[in-house]
Structure 1
Amino acid sequence: MTSMTAARLATSTGLFEIQNVAIPEPTASEVRLRVAYAGICLTDIHFIRGELAAGMPDAVTLGHEVVGTVDRVGDAVTDWQIGDRALVHPVEESRTSTRVLGVHYDGGWAQYVVAPDQSLVAIGPEISMKTAAIIPDAVSTPWAAITETAQVQPTQSVAVWGIGGLGFHAIKLLRIIGAAPIIAIDPVEAARDRAVAAGADFALDPRHEDFAAEIHRLTDGAGLDVALDFFGSPAIHQQAFDALGRKGRLVLVGVSDTTFSVVSAPNLVRNAKKVLGHYGSERRHVEEIVKLARLGRLDLSESISAVYDLADVHRAVENFIAKVDNPIRILLKA
């Protein structure tokens, strides 16, 4: 077999379609995976809608959450063998550039994917392929935001705005870290209920007129130590900033297409508040999540809401956008 099926986006025209393309060959330092599953992320939807990232090629196979089995290795690769089970850490960073799987080079919405050997992370036999597929972003990104950017410590109060794929996993991960209380914030009742089931101590509707008073009460009058925004909107930015206590940290993970601003600069200075941006994760964060999952500390079995065949990608994307059954993560099966 010399050709494969791939879901590709022509960035110049906006055409998104299933194509029959040549199976990629790995270079000396690359590994090819036979893809098992690939996740659908809101970032992919942005691209399909024409909201492109800098440096994207004229055409690209989407998909940055990928897991599969090693199918072929480059001549210089010594750490991987055919048949190994692995996921791909999607972000390659240097001091001057960032290169992302499914953004700057062909991703995992295909039957095969090629990636640098150093970007692969072994998953072992303890983790299912389905749950491993979402680790590279939906789980490792909130983990890095919590442990690295926000530097959450045990018993610190943390609120999570936006209980989608990343926010849902943030609740579980905050429970592991020992944050207390954990407060889930979402206008959708089903999302709030899901957050409580995942480990949130409290769940609030951000539209409630007593919202600020509730945050004050739940934090014993101190305000939040950390506010995590996984949605990305000016309304959330101001609300989360106002909910912070002294030396509180607002971490922005959700991407907003508007200018960031918050009112009350004196409050920022006098209370020593911090506003921090966060993007993705590093390989070590992925490895940490894999370890937690392998040891049974982190259960991701309920995170997969639906699985669609790759050929049915358009319906999968439509249902993701429409939030059919309020999904946590939707997978494509290659």
Structure 2
Amino acid sequence: MQGVISRSKDAPVELVTVTVPDPGPGEAVVTIQACGVCHTDLHYKQGGIGDDYPYLLGHEAAGIVESVGEGVRDLEPGDYVILNWRAVCGTCRACKRGRPWYCFATFNATQKMTLEDGTELSPALGIGAFIEKTLVAAGQCTKVDPAAPPEVAGLLGCGVMAGIGAAINTGEVGRGDSVAVIGCGGVGTAAVTASFLAGAAKIIAVDVDERKLATATSLGATHTINSKQVDPVERIRELTDGNGADVVIDAVGRPETYEQAFYARDLAGTVVLVGVPTPEMTLELPLLDVFGRGGRLKSSWYGDCLPSRDFPMLIDLFLQGRLPLDAFVSETIGIGDIEAAFEKMHRGEVLRSVVVL
């Protein structure tokens, strides 16, 4: 199969021939129809996640099951699926406590895809979907309504689900709440959309790019703040009667944006970190402020989603016209255009470029 790899840190991606084995026990081969270009793939390329090169990039994907291995139940060839990177185990301490969205032992395919010379590939987030067909654990396949186009459905595989879940699952945004979202890329804008869907009364979008703020407004933000021009903490307080927001979501994942989120929330409010920091980042806050302000400081893993529960529900909302997932697709591209898509992402020109195969 033709697939896109990152061979070494910061090297341009390459389109190469990849050997995909037949599925073994508990595995499935999926024909990829579309895959979003996610910032996490760029992190892999830049060495921000690990150094287990070469990586087979791509993970935000939808497609059709081609074949399944021995022992696979509830999945068969022809099923239309979204791939997920948290296939729950059902047996770890989180799963046994009825919290499978926190599963501590998620799993991937046992076999490895390889280059023609036998070099084993590390699939991004255990998926590797910038390829014609990929090998995954059967539990990484979530069946959804095939009426949803793959370039839209696949976005739930990572960034959009992370943002929606950060608001609804982790932040527990509800009717009448005030919400501030710091960083309005794909994840942050999804959090804005989910807050609107949940009935939040005030949704404040914060970014340094007026284009992103305009998009956030079109998807539900009631107020916008350009943090290059004003202090976002003070402005959020002004917009919330001097109190701060009930929920503040940091979709950037930097020490300075987390500190803004911490001080921009109301007393006993909630901070949600969904932006992914890099390994060298550290945070310093006065412990008395952590104690005195109360509330909850939470990290959101994949939007604390349970794919089998959340993916079909969100696809249904899209098909009902209540969740505009198609608004996140900035462009569709070919498999040879991924390096250019990374550059557009870095310049803030797109919410999502989506590779259509």
Same fold (TM over 0.5): yes
1:305 CA displacement: 0.8
Change (3 A) 1:208 1:118: same
The answer to which of 59-68 and 86-95 deviates more is: 86-95
1:62 alignment partner in structure 2: 57
Question: Following the alignment from structure 1 to structure 2, what is the Cα–Cα distance between the partners of residues 8 and 100?
Answer: 18
Residue 350 of structure 2 aligns with an amino acid whose one-letter code is P
Change (3 A) 1:310 1:210: closer
1:236 CA displacement: 1.2
Does 2:28 match 1:6? no
1:285 alignment partner in structure 2: 310
Question: Following the alignment from structure 1 to structure 2, what is the Cα–Cα distance between the partners of residues 245 and 12?
Answer: 42
Alpha-carbon RMSD across the aligned residues, in angstroms, is 2.3
2:78 alignment partner in structure 1: 83
1:34 CA displacement: 1.0
2:165 alignment partner in structure 1: 144
With normalisation by structure 2, the TM-score equals 0.84
Does 2:322 match 1:327? no
Contact 1:73 1:82 in 2 (8 A): yes
Map 1:1-334 onto structure 2 (within 5 A). 4-10=1-7, 16-53=13-50, 57-93=52-88, 95=92, 97-99=105-107, 102-103=123-124, 105-209=126-230, 211-257=232-278, 258-280=280-302, 281-283=305-307, 284-323=309-348, 326-334=349-357
Residue 195 of structure 1 aligns with an amino acid whose one-letter code is A
Residue 193 of structure 1 aligns with an amino acid whose one-letter code is A
What percentage of aligned pairs have identical amino acids? Answer: 26
Number of positions where the alignment pairs a residue of Structure 1 with one of Structure 2: 327
Change (3 A) 1:13 1:43: closer
Question: Following the alignment from structure 2 to structure 1, what is the Cα–Cα distance between the partners of residues 80 and 13?
Answer: 29
**Structure 2 SS opposite 1:298:** coil
Structure 2 unaligned regions, length at least 5: 93-103, 110-122
**Structure 2 SS opposite 1:7:** strand
With normalisation by structure 1, the TM-score equals 0.89
Residue 167 of structure 1 aligns with an amino acid whose one-letter code is G
Residue 58 of structure 2 aligns with an amino acid whose one-letter code is G
Contact 1:140 1:289 in 2 (8 A): no
1:294 CA displacement: 3.1
Contact 2:165 2:191 in 1 (8 A): no
Question: Following the alignment from structure 1 to structure 2, what is the Cα–Cα distance between the partners of residues 10 and 282?
Answer: 32
Structure 1 unaligned regions, length at least 5: none
The answer to which of 270-279 and 94-103 deviates more is: 94-103
The answer to which of 116-125 and 218-227 deviates more is: 116-125
